Chain A
Amino acid sequence: MQLVAQIVLNGVLLGGFYACMALGFSIVWGVMNVVNLAYGSMIMIGAYVTQMAVLQLGLPFAAALPLAALATFTMGYVLQRALLNRLAERSVFMTLIFTFGLNMALINLNLILFSADVRSLPDVFGRASFTIAGLSVPYGRATIFAVAMAMTLGLHALLNWTPLGNAIKATSFDPDAARLSGIDVPHVYALTFAIGGAIAGVTGALVATSYSFSPVAGESYTMKAFVVVVLGGLGSIPGAIIGGMLLGIVENLASLFLDSGYRDAVGFTLLLLVLVLRPRGLMGRRFFAEVKG
């Protein structure tokens, strides 16, 4: 029983991380109907920036994290403003092809800049754990969880309680009406993509501390983000959290009770079930693309 409780707790911690990385993917998809296949590569860039800031500039991790977010925020804004906005009104396939190509370009750029070596930041949070009710919680995973939750709340606040949030939501529902009411739609799109980028950057900083990264490792993160977003519901912040946690817990329990090789199979079965029984996702409202007609 103790073991099951520990594994569920680990699943929750993992789920927080999944939620965190899915947020940026979800908001871009939800608002602009862009499936950003280069999302994982942006996470990797966040990880590289963090590593350089810590190892070469000697900054503490707490300072490197915002730096990574700033880098991918800027990158996101420029990409959207300069390139993706030209495709925004076109079909989903155009943007898919674009982000697919962008992903290849970023992977190869990273290969040239950083080589294919696998990297990671050693010992940012140490190896220690603390104990709650007999269950051990490693500091590293707890920090990731805390950052993920803080970012989720921040994004929720931004979207619901600020003028920018209203502009983003309005643009997402009806870009034409938004334009008529004086909203600078290309700017809002670019900011949304940039926010998604910043979240990727923060995720990358977290990846650098607890996982390893290399130019080609991004794709597995894009894949996970995709699953979490579809599970939880497109563009929904609570959806990302619930989708992430559910996936984390179910994967871990599958590893515990079934052969660990079934971990992914169980995750994808869950995805299939949700798609069949509740196609809009657990917390999703109607499909954004559908609303937009």
Chain B
Amino acid sequence: MSSSSRRRLVAGGLSILLALSTVMPAAAQDMIRFGTALSLTGNLATEGKLVREGYDFFVKTVNERGGIDVAGKKYKVEIVYYDDESNVNTSVKLYEKLISQDKVKFLLGPYGSGITIAVSNLTEQHKLPLVIAHGAASTIYNRGYKYIFGVLNSIDHYTYNMVKMASEQKLTRLALLNENQLFAQLGIDGAARQAKELGVEVVYKEKYSSGTKDLSPELEKMKAAKPDMIIAGGYTNDMILLARQISQVGLKPKLLGYLLGPTLPGFVKSLGADAELTLEPVQWSINVPYKDQFFDWTARGYADAFQKVYGHVPDYHPIQSTAALQVYYNAFQKVGGFDPQKVRDAIAETDIVTAYGPIRFNEKGQNIAKSMSVVQIQDGKPVVVYPADVAETKLKLNP
């Protein structure tokens, strides 16, 4: 190929691209566009993928049904995605891009509390609603922000039902251990408060540095305090080490709970017997007794429909994403338009029931209508054991 014909080819390609880029916005007019940056690569990529599936599943469902009905007209839905590489700084830049370049007015939360805090500073400045599906830190909601709404239970409420179970089982000596990191600290501090409230004594409470390769000093001290229940918080890597070392140092609590871990991919497979009978509070399970008021599915119905599309049973991540979009879905219909301020006001008045659970926000933007279920690993499978109206089977204590 001669150099001039190659140049012509490049020029031709460029002009086609240019033409395409001017056509696209026109075609997008009858679209409602949401925007989000997710951790599609990097160390949060596992969760990022699940989060995206939930957002996508809503889009697919709504578009298949003709779109969202706003003031008598059907609008299809589309989400502009970026990859934040699990990095806070990248995420903030991408949301800036979503707002200023892509002109997205309705934002969906990223994955993770740290990233959500940073991103919400930006969306609040722009006075644009941010519906958070995966930011559980209570600090997100304690800053007096008016444009943020989280559909999930925030972290300081995670352990409430676990501690309540302990007190109902007459377990009175609780040991708490967490990674020295915001998410885990808030959760375990919450557990300490709940223990006090429910009359359970906290006999040990400490934190450890992230990425520690030996937790035996902490566990030996914990052992000396003779706990009958342990609740630990941290990310999966450390929790796997913790689970191993708990049995190695000979700690035998009646109950062992994690802020998160047992239901994440890899945990049970990695630990085998050491994962047995461990507990985790979950935002949602297939057994929750809610029937969606918008789509004709129950929690199980959602899971079945989801599995047909993505080939795996959803944990709580996808449906939490879907619920965030349902909050918008409800608000658009209430407002009959797309003015961000009016949509924000309608979101603040949300009072709906979804397959994920009931959603109603307090003045901080926290969902106060829902509580956490508790899951236990029995015979290698996660089953819901608490509260009673959701439980699949009975709680088992370690001998």
Contacts and interface: CB of A to CB of B under 8 A. Distances in A.
Interface of A: 3, 6-7, 10-11, 14, 17-18, 108, 111, 115-123, 127, 129, 136, 138, 140-141, 210-212, 214, 216-217, 220, 224, 248, 251-253, 255-256, 259-264
Nearest to B216: A10
A136 B264 CA distance: 31
B contact residues, range = 35 or more
A84 B273 CA distance: 44
Nearest to B181: A261
Contact of A129 (B43, B207, B248): B248
A256 B217 contact: yes
Contacts of B236: 118, 212
Nearest to A261: B180
A150 B248 CA distance: 24
Interface string B46-71: 10000000000000000000000000
A220 B41 CA distance: 18
A261 B180 CA distance: 6
Given A115-B46, A138-B248, A259-B207, A123 B41 contact: no
A115 B42 CA distance: 10
Contacts, number: 120
Interface in B3-52: 41-46
A111 B41 contact: yes
A260 B266 contact: no
Given A10-B214, A263-B212, A120 B271 contact: yes
A7 B213 contact: no
Contacts of A123: 272-274
Given A212-B241, A220-B211, A255-B218, A119 B43 contact: no
Contacts of B206: 259-260
Interface of B: 41-46, 180, 206-209, 211-214, 216-218, 220-221, 224, 236-237, 240-241, 244, 247-250, 264-267, 269-274
Contact of B270 (A11, A120, A263): A120
28 contacts: A3-B224, A108-B41, A115-B46, A117-B46, A117-B265, A117-B266, A118-B236, A118-B267, A119-B266, A119-B269, A120-B240, A120-B270, A122-B270, A122-B273, A129-B250, A140-B248, A210-B244, A211-B237, A217-B237, A220-B211, A252-B216, A252-B217, A260-B180, A260-B217, A260-B218, A261-B180, A263-B208, A263-B209
B249 A136 contact: yes
A261 B209 CA distance: 5
A261 B45 CA distance: 27
Contact of A255 (B46, B208, B267, B273): B208
Most chain A CB within 10 A, of B208, B209, B217, is at B217
Given A129-B250, A136-B250, A7 B216 contact: yes
A252 B218 CA distance: 9
Contact of A118 (B217, B250, B266): B266
B209 A260 contact: yes
Nearest to A17: B213
Contacts of B241: 210-212
Contacts of B250: 129, 136
A7 B272 CA distance: 27
A255 B207 CA distance: 10
A7 B270 contact: no
Most chain B CB within 10 A, of A7, A121, A127, A259, is at A127
A-B pairs with lowest CB-CB distance, top 7: A122-B272, A120-B270, A255-B217, A116-B45, A212-B240, A138-B248, A216-B43
A102 to B, nearest CB: 17
Contacts of B244: 127, 140, 210
Nearest to A255: B217
Contacts of B209: 260-264
A111 to B, nearest CB: 6
